[in-house]
Every structure is written in C-alpha cells, then in structure tokens.
Amino acid sequence: MKIALFGNPYQEKYKASLNDFVSYLQEASDLMIEKDFRDYLESMGIDTDKAQVLETGNFGGAELAVSIGGDGTLLSKAALLARQGIPVVGINTGHLGYLAACRLNEAREMIESIKHGDCRHEERTMLQLVSINGEPCDNIIALNEIAILRQDTTSMISMPTTINGTMLTTYMGDGLVISTPTGSTAYNMSVGGPIMMPLTSCLALSPISPHSLTMRPIVVSDNSEIVVTINTRAQWIQVSVDGMAMTLPSGSTVKIAQAPYKLSVIQKKEHNFANTLREKLLWGADQR
C-alpha cells in the first residue's frame, strides 16, 4: 500500500512510539513522508531513510494518508485530500481527537485493519466558500465550518441571510457559524449549536452572541445555498474557513454551499458516534 504520512511538530513525548510506528510503516508499505514532517522526525533522531520525501501539500497518488496529531492537523490537509480522493486515518496525539481512529499505541493494528478492509470509510460533507461579492472563489473548502466574525470592534454585525434564495432572517450579534455535521462538535458546539451525527445530510447555522434571545440555531439541508451579507459600523469583518481567516470590507456578501467532493475519514469498524460522545464529552459520566 502506498501511504502518505504527515503530522505536527509537537511529538516529543511520543518519540519512542513514533519511532516504532515509522519503522513499521517503512517495512510494511511504500511510505512517503511530507517534507516538513520528515525534517522534524529526523531532528528527533527517527530514521526515515527508506521513505520517499514529498513536498509539502503533494501526496503523490497515495492510496492512504495518515495524520499524526490532533484534529487541527487533519483539518489542515482535508481539502487537498478530498480533492485528490485520498482517504485519511487520524492517529491522535492531540486532545479530544473527534476525527481520529485511534491513539498512537494502536496505530500499527489500525493500519493492518485498513489493509485487510476491516474498517469503515465515512464520507464527510464539506463546505465551500463559493463566491465573495459575486466573484467566484477557488477551492476555499472547510471540513468543520465557515464562520463570520466581527473584527477589531465591539459593534454588532447585521447579517441578512437567505437560504436557496428565500429570506431566512437578519442575524444580529457577534457573528454566525455555518457548520457541517463533522464540525458540529467544534466551534458550532461552543456557541450553543446542535450536535449532529457525522453522516447526516444537513448543515447548522448558529449565531454567535445573538442580540435577540429568540434567535436560535437552525438545521438545514446540506444542499442549501446560503447567502449572507455582512454589515457593521466597523470597516472590516472576518471570515474564518476552518480557522484560516480572511479580512473583508463591511458590506461584503458571501455565498456558501456544499463542496463538490467529500472527505473519506477511516474509522474502526466498531466505531460509532454515540461512543464518541460518551468518551470525549463524558456523556452519562457521574462526576460526583
């Protein structure tokens, strides 16, 4: 199997386990390592001589991508992997790790399961920033969310919002989070939005600190086209795409819709989201 490996440069406490896993991958697969991560591994004394070095962002026709880190590490490559149709498995060395299939001490067994088809491929909906002020955008894609935020001001944002050409409402507040089911446990959850099962065909619109207490989150179909005009007394506003921020002038209009491709996230065959909620969010745990 042709495997592309990438990760974040915060793995010092996992050095021994990471060394064993990289050694295993070099023996058991045709391994390619993204250059930045390969340089980091070498700096820790981990031998990568048997692996091909990939330029950052180039996965060279890999059959599988392996992400080592937290959810942010996987998110950083999600759009690229989805466009190239490469499935990804997350090995969690971060915090909660909603997207991860396992911890590093289980990684070898996970790869063997994938080789034998003993796993699940979950096709995750992605969002696309289609246009800004009528000008098409080129591959601005989010796996978690697109968020509209105020910048350098305490003034509220006014956001007239349409769904498929029909007026929904004018949101008033600090901003608006438009989330996929995957992103429902990220920024969306922190602003009081609904948690959605990852494979449901829907999106959530969740206002940030709404001016009206009756302005609640809403779930819409994932084939919805969402258009938001962003007005504020300040000169600028911010649009964040999976944490990648861009600054736009007040009065800008953005169009958001489902991306034309999905990301294939690999999980253990026995994985289910209910278990994830109990494990990560401690649902049902008695803290007394």
Give the Cα separation of 219 and 206 in Å (integer): 9
pLDDT at 286 over 80: no
Q: How far apart are CA 113 and CA 135, in angstroms?
A: 45
Q: Which burial class, exposed, middle or buried, applies to 212 when counting CB atoms under 10 A from its CB (0-12, 13-18, 19+)?
A: exposed
Residues in the chain: 288
Give the mean model confidence (pLDDT) for residues 263-278.
89
Does position 284 have pLDDT exceeding 80, yes or no? no
Q: Which residue has the higher pLDDT, 279 or 171?
A: 171
Cβ burial of 37 (10 Å; 0-12, 13-18, 19+) is buried
What pLDDT score does 153 carry?
A: 78
* Percent of the chain at pLDDT exceeding 90: 85
CATH of 2-124+262-280, one of 3.20.20.450, 1.10.3720.10, 3.40.50.10330, 3.40.50.300: 3.40.50.10330
Q: Is the pLDDT of residue 162 over 80?
A: yes
Does the pLDDT value for residue 154 go beyond 90?
A: no
Q: What is the pLDDT of residue 134?
A: 96
Domain ranges (residues) in the chain: 2-124+262-280, 127-258
User: What is the per-residue pLDDT for 97?
Assistant: 84
Query: Residue 271: pLDDT band by 50, 70, 90 thresholds?
Result: confident
Give yes or no for residue 3 having a pLDDT over 80: yes
Candidate from 19-23, 60-64, 233-237, 280-284 with smallest mean pLDDT:
280-284
Say what the pLDDT of residue 288 is.
66
Superfamily of domain 127-258: Probable inorganic polyphosphate/atp-NAD kinase; domain 2 (2.60.200.30)
Can you give the pLDDT at residue 16?
95
User: In this predicted structure, what is the pLDDT of residue 164?
Assistant: 98
**206-231 per-position pLDDT tens digit:** 999 999 889 999 999 999 999 999 99
The average pLDDT across 127-140 equals: 96
Q: Do the bridges between strand 2-7 and strand 30-34 make them parallel or antiparallel, or are there none, so unpaired?
A: parallel
Catalytic residues: 71
Report whether pLDDT(194) > 80: yes
